[in-house]
Amino acid sequence: MNLFNTKIAYASLDSFLGHVNTLIINPLIIFLFALAVVYFLYGMVEFIANAENEEKRTKGKSHMLWGVVGFAIMMGVWFILWVVLDTLNVQGVDPEKGTVNLPHYDAPTYPPQNP
């Protein structure tokens, strides 16, 4: 048993970001899209089913409006993501496939070497 040397598991940043994107971000975005659509459909059913009750129709309109707002916000997430990636000229990121390919990074050495 060696108490002074810890064992560290190394993983590349590429694989970590790819796994976070594939396993967490993409399913979360799909879930939120589905939630906005279900909320909109619930409001539409509530609006149609309660045609004689003005108060419940207004509530259904409100649910439909907030469903559309939620859908627009989720579309805005994709738009903001693409604007940021294009502005910073980030290459190798494909959020639709869940892949991240970063260029190789050579860490600087200390002390700096003069050529």
List, for residues 31-74, the tens digit of each pLDDT value.
Answer: 988 999 999 999 999 999 998 999 999 999 999 999 999 899 88
User: Is residue 79, in this structure, part of any structural domain at all?
Assistant: yes
User: Is residue 91, in this structure, part of any structural domain at all?
Assistant: yes
Report the distance separating Cα 41 and Cα 43, nearest Å.
Answer: 5
* Cβ within 8 Å of residue 90, ≥6 positions away: 84
User: Is residue 112, in this structure, part of any structural domain at all?
Assistant: no
User: Is residue 25, in this structure, part of any structural domain at all?
Assistant: yes
Task: Give residue 7's pLDDT.
Answer: 62
User: Is residue 113, in this structure, part of any structural domain at all?
Assistant: no
Task: Give residue 23's pLDDT.
Answer: 83
Q: How many domains does the chain have?
A: 1
User: Is residue 2, in this structure, part of any structural domain at all?
Assistant: no
Q: Could you tell me the residue range of the domain that residue 89 belongs to?
A: 13-99
State the pTM of this model: 0.60
**Helices then strands (H, E): number in the chain?**
3, 2
Q: Is 62 helix (H, G, I), strand (E, B) or coil?
A: helix
